[in-house]
Each structure stands twice: as C-alpha cells, then as structure tokens.
Amino acid sequence: MVGARDPGWRAFAGAGRLTDILAGQPADERLLAEIYDLEHDEIVEDLHFYREWAARQPGDVIDLGCGSGRLFAPFLAGGARRILGIDGSPAMLERAEQRVAGDEGLRAAHAEGRIELAAGDVRSVERPERYALAVLAGVLSHLDGPAEARDALAAAGRLLDPGGALIVDLLGPGGLPPGDLPMSVDWTRTVGGRRIVRRSLLERQTDSDALRVTYDTLTDLQEADGTITRLPARFRLWYPSPTALFTLANEAGLGVDATYGSHDLDPLDGGSDRCIAVMRRSTAIPGRG
C-alpha cells in the first residue's frame, strides 16, 4: 500500500507546466525547476524500461514533456539514433540543457547533433519528421482532463512512423493518493549550504473514470545567513482510469498494444502503482492529411 507521504504517488506529480500553473503567484520558476530536479533525479526505477524500449524501437525518439531530460541517458544507452526533447516550461528546458552540458555522453551526442531540445506544447506539437518511439512520461496528468489528453495522444500519434510506438506512463490505480492530506512536511534537506523544507497539502476529487488532485506546495529555502525564500505553487493533476485512458487512445486513432502495471512489466490491475500503455497508430489517424 502506498502511504500518505510515500514518494510513489509523488513521483512525476510535482512539476507541471510551470508557465501556466504559476500565473499570478509570487514564485520563481527557475528555483521550482531546481527543486523538481532534486526530487525527481532520485527516480531511477524506470530507467531500464526506457533503455529497453529505445533498443526495441530502433531509430529516433521524441520525449514529449521531457522535463529536465532525465530519460535522455537511457534512450542513448538503448541506442537511440537521435533524441528530441519537447517541453512547455522554459525553466525545465534550461535544466535539461544543463544536464546535457554536464554529462559527458549526453554532451558528445549533442555535439554530434543527436540531442535537440525545443519548446512546445504536447497538445498540439507538430514536426516534419517521424519517430520510432514517442514517450509521454508523467505528462498527461498535467493536462486539464480528457479533451486535452485526447489532443496530446492524437498529436503524439501523428509523430510516429508506421512501425512507431508511443509509451504513455502514468500513476496507476494503486499509486494514487488514497485520501486528502493536510498541510504537513514532506521532506527537509540541506543542499549547497541551503536548508530546504518542502510542505504540501493535497485535495482529491473523484469521478467515475478519473481522479483530480489539487496539490499545493510550499517550499522554504533557508540561506546560510538565515534569510528565507518561500516558493508557493499549485498544481492541478488529473489521473484517468486505465479504461478511460484506453478509450481516449482509441478516439485519438491509437490502438493499445500492451499494458504494464510497473516498469518491471508486471500486469496492470487495480492495485498497480503505474499505468503504462504502449500504443501504436491504427489505420486512420484523425487530423492526418
């Protein structure tokens, strides 16, 4: 069972499309992106899965909602010919650039023109080239429900070459927060001389085929001289049931080829921590000329 403050549900949930969701709030996107990396770089349990899929789908990879490029190294290790990372947040793309510059293998691939980053919206992304593998990892939950998710799935489908696969990776039914959580401390860390305290509050709203979560975070960064920078942020997250996701995929012109309940390929069921679907184009893709 996933505990109330277990990172299981929090994995992939902590950063949304920062430019949109922080509207009007006195927050620093760059600092939030830094905190995001601090939390998410610890997630490594899915890396072997993405390395394996890059090997299974030889060719080019498009990482839709790539964040700070956490998955680039496994794609390369799996033999990706070229990687395009797309994200809607300039601050996350900046973190991705820093990751590429700071890693020897990624830096060499970038110098050879094998890694590219671009700003874009996964709901409407268009590219002239086609991909063997497209990935939406932890991204659909940041969209505002089924219509936007259908748009993102259709856009991803249009990017696939005829043998291409789209992997959609979300929290599964067993990984979702089981109840509301009052404001309380998630973690405290000291990084680069700064003491960081992260608190959050979570409210759930269920309907028959999805869970909506409002997730308010309050991050305090205490400098060595005692001054505190407080970063408030609000994320609205949406988690479709597996059945709802598969219906949306069909409506977007995609067939579901395989499903998994974990990155170790456990079967997907009502207790699964992850909901992972491998989708392929059906014959007719809506919006494709």
In the bound complex, what is the minimum distance in angstroms from residue 119's beta carbon to ligand SAM?
Answer: 8
Whether residue 122 contacts residue 64, with contact meaning beta carbons closer than 8 Å, is answered with yes
Compute the CA torsion angle 149, 77, 7, 194 (nearest 10 deg). -110
Query: Given the rule CB under 6 A, which of 64-72, 173-181, 231-239, 271-279 is the region that contacts ligand SAM?
Result: 64-72
Give the strands of the sheet with 228-240, arranged side by side.
181-191, 194-207, 210-222, 228-240
Q: How far is it, in rounded angstroms, from Cα 171 to Cα 261?
A: 9
**96 is an interface residue for ligand SAM by CB under 6 A:** no
Among candidates 221, 195, 215, which has minimal Cα distance to 203? Answer: 215
In the bound complex, what is the minimum distance in angstroms from residue 141's beta carbon to ligand SAM?
Answer: 8
Please enumerate in sequence order all residues whose Cβ is within 8 A of that of 187, keeping only pairs 6 or more positions apart, or say none.
Answer: 197, 198
Q: Which of 99, 123, 158, 198 binds ligand SAM (CB under 6 A)?
A: 123
Q: Cα–Cα distances in Å, from 87 out to 210, 216, 227?
A: 24, 22, 32
Per DSSP, which regions of 5-108 are E strands?
A: 60-64, 82-87
Reading the block at residue 145, the tokens are 């429900």
**114 is an interface residue for ligand SAM by CB under 6 A:** no
In the bound complex, what is the minimum distance in angstroms from residue 135's beta carbon to ligand SAM?
Answer: 7
In the bound complex, what is the minimum distance in angstroms from residue 255's beta carbon to ligand SAM?
Answer: 23
Q: Which is nearer to ligand SAM, 116 or 223 (CB)?
A: 116
Closest residue (Cβ) to ligand SAM? 67
Span 144-173, contacts to ligand SAM by CB under 6 A: none
Query: Given the rule CB under 6 A, which of 133-141, 183-191, 212-220, 268-276 is the region that contacts ligand SAM?
Result: 133-141
In the bound complex, what is the minimum distance in angstroms from residue 211's beta carbon to ligand SAM?
Answer: 16
Size of the chain, expressed as the number of residues it contains: 289
Please enumerate in sequence order all residues whose Cβ is within 8 A of that of 112, keeping only pairs 6 or more positions apart, or say none.
Answer: none
Whether residue 246 contacts residue 148, with contact meaning beta carbons closer than 8 Å, is answered with no
Query: Given the rule CB under 6 A, which of 105-113, 134-142, 157-165, 245-253 is the region that contacts ligand SAM?
Result: 134-142
Please enumerate in sequence order all residues whose Cβ is within 8 A of that of 250, keeping only pairs 6 or more positions apart, or say none.
Answer: 256, 282
Q: Which is nearer to ligand SAM, 187 or 195 (CB)?
A: 187
Span 69-88, contacts to ligand SAM by CB under 6 A: 70-71, 87-88
3 state SS of 102? helix
Site for ligand SAM (CB under 6 A): how many residues? 22
In the bound complex, what is the minimum distance in angstroms from residue 258's beta carbon to ligand SAM?
Answer: 19
Span 4-63, contacts to ligand SAM by CB under 6 A: 12, 15-18, 40
Q: Which is nearer to ligand SAM, 156 or 268 (CB)?
A: 156
The residues that touch ligand SAM, with contacts defined as CB under 6 A, are 12, 15-18, 40, 65-67, 70-71, 87-89, 92, 121-123, 137-139, 142
